[in-house]
A = this chain, B = another copy of it.
Amino acid sequence: MQTYTSIRELRGRIGEWRKANPEGTVGFVPTMGFLHEGHASLIERARAENGLTVVSVFVNPLQFGPNEDFERYPRDPERDASVCERAGADLLFAPEVREMYPKKAVTRVLVEELTDRLCGASRPGHFDGVGTVVSKLFHIVQPDRAYFGLKDAQQVAVIERMTEDLNLPVGIVPCPTVREPDGLALSSRNVYLTAEQREQAVVLSRALGKAGEWLSEPELGASELRGRIIAYIERAPLAVIDYVEVLTYPDLQPPDGLTLSSGNGQGGRIIVALAVKFGGTRLIDNRIFG
């Protein structure tokens, strides 16, 4: 595996590979580093489906709010490199902030509507930063396919819509969330949790499991489901709910009608999405049904 910090050099290397492999495809896994088995699963999938696998590690300041954890976001470049190598990455792109933003960025890529709820409502400007940096990375790497974890389901929906709206020549591949044995979704932010918070954090995935059971009730409505999930999460004393939402997926709209069961003629998919704080650490999780 080769590591690049320069856009020009990375592009040169990918360009050479393309010339030598005119039928080959490039798979791309953009990350913010501090890689865990969830990221490794994306890299392995990219590796299996493409001739060249590129991973980026870049903690993007543009997608953090002024009171968020940009400065203290966990970083471990050496371990990241070894996770990438072990998972089968060919090229690692790890630029400095000044390489990605050499001057004040006055251009932004905005995805409206999809971003005014869930994490977009809790973190104003977050998805503008995501859309902008992902479109920059797509232009730098020019992949055939890009791999994103469904733990950030709204991010996947936003990037799919941006790609479609802007005719980006990239296939977006959503990949399943990887979990700890007890169900907790892997996240770089899990390292912030104390032992007691870590124990109670399992309430997110358990609540989603219960939501799956409740959804089989034929007359269940979205607000009733939401209420039951909130009550379930509140049984964890350290849990402070940021949001619990039941929406259509990938459009992220309130579901039509009163009931969610498959018999109500909606046919589409439903996402149950949670954001819960434990102390200063905000965890998200979701499940998509139907």
Contacts and interface: CB of A to CB of B under 8 A. Distances in A.
Interface of A: 7, 11, 19, 22, 105-114, 131-132, 135-136, 139-140, 142, 161-162, 165-169
6 contacts: A106-B112, A106-B161, A107-B110, A107-B112, A107-B162, A110-B110
Contacts of A140: 167
A109 B106 contact: no
A136 B167 contact: yes
Given A107-B166, A132-B166, A136-B165, 17 more contacts: A19-B22, A106-B111, A106-B114, A106-B165, A107-B111, A107-B131, A108-B110, A108-B112, A109-B109, A109-B166, A110-B110, A135-B135, A136-B166, A136-B167, A139-B168, A140-B167, A142-B169
For A131, A135, A166, the residue with the greatest tally of chain B CB atoms inside 10 Å of its CB is: A166
Contacts of A11: 169
> Is chain A's interface secondary structure helix, strand, loop, or mixed overall?
mixed
Nearest to A136: B167
Q: How many copies does the complex hold?
A: 2
Nearest to A167: B139
Contacts of A169: 11, 139, 142
Nearest to A131: B107
A84 to B, nearest CB: 22
Contacts of A105: 165
Nearest to A109: B109
Contact of A135 (B111, B113, B161, B166): B166
Nearest to A139: B167
A110 B166 CA distance: 13
A6 to B, nearest CB: 12
B107 A165 contact: yes
Greatest chain B CB density within 10 A among A111, A139, A168 is at A139
A61 to B, nearest CB: 14
A135 B139 CA distance: 11
A39 B139 CA distance: 27
Nearest to A11: B169
Contacts of A113: 106
A139 B167 CA distance: 6
A168 to B, nearest CB: 5
Closest 10 CB pairs of A and B: A107-B165, A139-B167, A106-B112, A106-B113, A107-B162, A136-B167, A107-B111, A140-B167, A108-B110, A139-B168
A12 to B, nearest CB: 12
A135 B162 CA distance: 12
Contacts of A132: 166
A154 to B, nearest CB: 14
A113 B107 CA distance: 9
A8 to B, nearest CB: 10
